[in-house]
């Protein structure tokens, strides 16, 4: 039945469920309204920015290849032979969605046939169908194998830099969502650009908020600078990073976090962030 609901009604119902109010998508004001409006009318560049393979060229041309995680190969499909030819440790993921990831810490402990079957199944998944995020559907599906940036055989900390561009003379506004413990006990904290504790939090994670100067990355200023450059003329984007052995690495660009359903509290912040998110969306410059 859900597939029979037209987009305008589907998005309004999803919005009401998550925010307990009716949205204005034609003249969006709040952060959440602009995300939902963006989902319904994505810019042509969104598919490239969300493509984990294609975005590498954009990153290299915008800020430099040194921020790219070393790539072992891009594949139209995975086979046991290709799997056996990869290093003992690597990360295998699909380029057209999120969560389609296998972190290989010991290749000899895995079945090449099972890994190949799982990876190829990703290529048949219509990522974004449930949330109707159209820009994902236009991404040509591939697999990419990258160096595993492991910390004691565990996933590295994830720094998600939210960049808001007012484009009215004000400087970009940034905050950092730090996610730790992806393979175990997940914790999350939000810091402002000077690494002070943010006076807000993501809904559902208030108790995980920390104010720990020891977690401040040495490359914080570099991270913020690179995030702003990659966001370009967009009114908003989230740029993810990892820090490994003292070096900063780009993870991905996200334009519609949680399918537009990401919520920050307390009440009133949605409107404040919307004021910092210039609208209408502007096509980012694509360096060549």
Q: Split the chain (288 residues) into runs of 10 and give each run's mean pLDDT.
A: 82 94 96 96 95 97 97 97 97 93 94 97 86 91 96 84 94 94 76 94 66 84 98 96 96 94 91 96 81
The whole-model pTM stands at 0.94
pLDDT (0 to 100) of residue 151: 77
| Whether the Cβ atoms of residue 89 and residue 104 lie closer than 8 Å to each other | yes
pLDDT (0 to 100) of residue 182: 67
The domains found in the chain, sorted by start residue, are 1-22+151-288 (3.30.470)
Helical H segments across the chain, by residue range: 7-19, 31-40, 45-50, 55-62, 80-84, 112-122, 134-137, 220-231, 269-276
pLDDT (0 to 100) of residue 247: 96
pLDDT (0 to 100) of residue 22: 96
Does the CA dihedral 216-220-223-224 come out positive or negative?
positive
Q: Which of 254, 258, 284, 229 is nearest to 67 (CA)?
A: 229
**Counting runs of H as helices and runs of E as strands, what totals does the chain give?**
9, 11
pLDDT (0 to 100) of residue 106: 93
CA distance 228 to 163: 6
Q: Which residues pair with 163 in a beta bridge?
A: 174, 237
Going by the DSSP 8-state scheme, the letter that residue 159 receives in this structure is E
String of b and e for 159-174 (b: at least 16 CB within 10 Å)?
Answer: bbbbbbbeeeeeebbb
pLDDT (0 to 100) of residue 183: 65
């Amino acid at each position: 039945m859900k597939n029979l609901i037209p987009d305008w009604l589907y998005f309004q119902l999803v919005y009401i469920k998550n925010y307990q109010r009716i949205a204005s998508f034609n003249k969006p004001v709040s952060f959440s309204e602009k995300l939902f409006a963006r989902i319904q009318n994505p810019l042509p560049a969104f598919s490239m920015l969300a493509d984990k393979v294609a975005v590498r060229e954009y990153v290299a041309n915008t800020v430099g290849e040194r921020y790219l995680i070393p790539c072992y190969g891009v594949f139209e499909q995975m086979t046991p032979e290709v799997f056996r030819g990869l290093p003992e440790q690597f990360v295998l993921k699909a380029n057209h969605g999120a969560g389609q990831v296998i972190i290989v810490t010991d290749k000899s402990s895995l079945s090449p046939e099972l890994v190949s079957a799982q990876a190829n199944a990703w290529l048949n998944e219509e990522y974004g169908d449930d949330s109707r995020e159209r820009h994902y559907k236009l991404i040509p599906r591939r697999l990419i194998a990258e160096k595993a940036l492991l910390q004691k055989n565990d996933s590295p900390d994830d720094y998600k830099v939210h960049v808001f561009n007012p484009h009215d003379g004000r400087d970009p506004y940034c905050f950092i969502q730090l996610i730790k413990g992806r393979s175990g006990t997940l914790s999350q904290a939000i810091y402002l650009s000077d690494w002070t504790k943010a006076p807000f939090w993501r809904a559902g994670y208030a108790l995980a908020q920390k104010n720990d100067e020891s977690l401040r990355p040495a490359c914080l200023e570099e991270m913020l600078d690179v995030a702003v450059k990659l966001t370009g003329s967009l009114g908003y984007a989230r740029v993810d990073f990892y820090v490994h052995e003292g070096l900063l690495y780009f993870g991905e660009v996200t334009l519609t976090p949680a399918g537009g359903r990401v919520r920050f509290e307390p009440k009133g912040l949605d409107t404040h962030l919307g004021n910092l998110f210039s609208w209408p969306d502007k096509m980012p410059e694509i360096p060549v």
